[in-house]
Amino acid sequence: MFALLHRVMLLVILGLCTTLAQAQSYPSKPIKIVVQFAAGGGTDILARILAQRMSERFGQPVIVENVTGAGGSIGTAAVARAAPDGYTLLLAQPGPNAVAPSIYANLAYDPAKDFAPITLVSKLPLFVVVAGSSPYKSLADLVAAGRQSSNLNYASAGNGSLGHLSAELLNMEAKTKFAIIHYRGSAPAKTAVLSGEASFHFAAAADAIPQMKQGQLRALALTSDRRTSLAPEVPTMAEAGVQGFGTNVWYGFVAPANTPRPIIERIREEMLKILAEPPTRERMTQLGAEPATSTPEEFAEIIKADIAKYATVAKAAGIKPQ
């Protein structure tokens, strides 16, 4: 009995030593960051900003790979299936990591169980944007048009995206009749608005602000419960006359479940240093992404709370998982 216990303890100690050794040597090969939406969108640009600094700090290539489709769930599922060794990461966001369970009946992953949260990297609001040439000068103008006609379209970044549910909620709260067209990411959704194919889009600040500054897009309102320093002139939805939009977009890194905790902490430690660098913070702010950090446990709670919140919204909007 004593001999058996002794062997078990030796195996446990050996396992711990192996994990610590892996963390100390990490990374020893290239790291891949999966982005669930098309190149050129805000998530993609943010991932590339962070990947560049990670590569410089880690001394290994950090590659961004765009794996699109099914509202981001295809790329998310690919990371869930990856080896839990820290070499495949996901830049998670609410659509595929919190909204998707309410949209897809046979989701190939469990966002609360199949990932190991590392840290938040940014929090930001959604903007209701129209083309700079649009006749709608205010949210009231857009809502009035949406009540009168069912021929106006909303450009969604994908079925199950946060913007998709926001548009459904707008139809419900404001009694509008906007038809929803799903695109493969925020970049083509914005293009649809700019071309006149769609009337408006719920865009993350990172996607909207650069073109807002150029006059190509006009923001009518934002979804957070208070104005943002990124665009202080833009009113909240409540200020613009529509209630029920206290919502923020978040971005954060997660790894496959069962990734060793020392590797999680190693990645988080470097990410905190990167997010504290003034040049990185400036680049993120210019993009419209306000830097934010968290512990793995805090990030896990945010994901869990948002899964519950968006399930409630989807049910109220009559959206059934398909």
Q: What residues are paired with 179 via a beta bridge?
A: 153
Specify the fold of 29-124+249-316: D-Maltodextrin-Binding Protein; domain 2 (3.40.190)
Identical fold, 29-124+249-316 and 126-222: yes
pTM for the model stands at 0.78
List Cβ neighbours of 294 (8 Å cut-off, separation of 6 or more). Answer: 117, 119, 120, 252, 302
- Of all residues in the chain, the percent with pLDDT exceeding 90 is 67
- Residue 40 pLDDT > 90: no
User: What ranges do the domains of the chain cover?
Assistant: 29-124+249-316, 126-222
Higher per-residue pLDDT: 41 or 177: 177
Each residue's pLDDT tens digit, 196-205? 999 999 998 8
DSSP helix/strand/coil, 68: coil
Quick: pLDDT tens for 58-103.
999 999 999 998 889 999 999 999 999 999 999 999 989 999 999 8
- Number of other CB atoms surrounding residue 12 within 10 Å: 10
Closest CA to 32 of 93, 74, 101, 78: 78
Q: How confident is the model at residue 11 (pLDDT cuts 50, 70, 90)?
A: low
- Segment 293-317 shows an average pLDDT of 92
Task: Please say if the pLDDT value at position 125 is more than 90.
Answer: no
Q: What is the CATH number of domain 126-222?
A: 3.40.190.10
| Nearest partner of 130 among 113, 155, 148, judged by Cα | 155
Distance CA 170, CA 189 (A): 18
The pLDDT of residue 81 = 98
